[in-house]
Amino acid sequence: MKIKKIMVVGAGIMGSGIAQVCIEAGFDTLLVDMSDEIAKNGKEKITHFLSRKVEKGKLTQIQVDEMLLKLSVSGKYEDGKDSDLVIEAVAENIELKKSIFKSLDEVCKPETILATNTSTISITLIAAATKRPDKVIGMHFFVPAPTMKLIEVIPGLLTNDEVKKIAWDISIALGKTPAMAQDTSAFIVNRLLVPMWNEAMFLVMEGTEPKDVWNGKAF
Question: What amino acid positions are annotated as catalytic residues?
Answer: 119, 140, 152, 190
The answer to whether the Cα torsion of 170, 23, 34, 151 is positive or negative is positive
The alpha helices in 6-142, defined as continuous H runs, are 13-24, 36-55, 61-69, 94-107, 123-127
The alpha helices in the chain, defined as continuous H runs, are 13-24, 36-55, 61-69, 94-107, 123-127, 161-173, 189-205, 210-215
